[in-house]
Amino acid sequence: MGHGLTRGRLAADAGVNLETVRYYERVGLMPEPDRTSGGHRDYRPEHRQRLVFIRRARELGFSLDDIRALIALSEPGRRTCAEVEPIAAAHLFAVRAKIEDLRRLEMVLDDAVGRCAGGTAPSCPVIEVLGGR
């Protein structure tokens, strides 16, 4: 009955899990599509574009709240850059902080694991780092 895309097709096309589509609709990230006479969702190409947008933004680590804002700002007729930049810059900042955190923790782990590899010591360097015994 529908002449557009089914939910399964849309999800596959955009590279997103089937259930995730319904979730995005529920939280207001995806607009409610038309329905077939039988009640099945009937998507159009703009839905696919929107879903790909969301997927890419998620891959870049933006939160769903950020993505809501980015979607609003990507509507035609907006002078976007000035409004988009702070969101992206804040996220970039957070990403860099996360990298720093992980690097510090990589060093501690690497050191402990390196000393661990030695052999059958009576106490383990990894456990020691954690304050055990």
**Which spans of this chain sit near DNA (rule: CB under 7 A)?**
1-2, 6-9, 16-20, 22-23, 35-41, 58, 63-65
**Nearer Cβ to a copy of itself (39/118):** 118
Helices (H), 2-80: 7-14, 18-26, 45-59, 64-73
Residue 92 found at the interface with a copy of itself (CB under 8 A) = yes
Residue 73 found at the interface with a copy of itself (CB under 8 A) = yes
Closest CA to 44 of 57, 34, 55: 34
Residue 112 found at the interface with a copy of itself (CB under 8 A) = yes
**Nearer Cβ to a copy of itself (36/87):** 87
**Nearer Cβ to a copy of itself (39/119):** 119
CA torsion 55→59→64→65, rounded to 10°?
A: -120
CA torsion 122→126→129→130, rounded to 10°?
A: -100
94 binds, among a copy of itself, DNA, none (CB under 5 to 8 A by kind): none
Neighbours of 110 (CB within 10 A): 10
Q: Print burial letters for 88-102: b (CB count within 10 Å at least 16), e (below 16).
A: eeebeeeeeeeeeee
- Interface residue list for a copy of itself (CB under 8 A): 49, 52-53, 56-57, 59-61, 70-71, 73-74, 76, 79-82, 84-85, 87-89, 91-92, 95-96, 98-99, 102-103, 105-106, 108-110, 112-113, 116-121, 123-127, 129-133
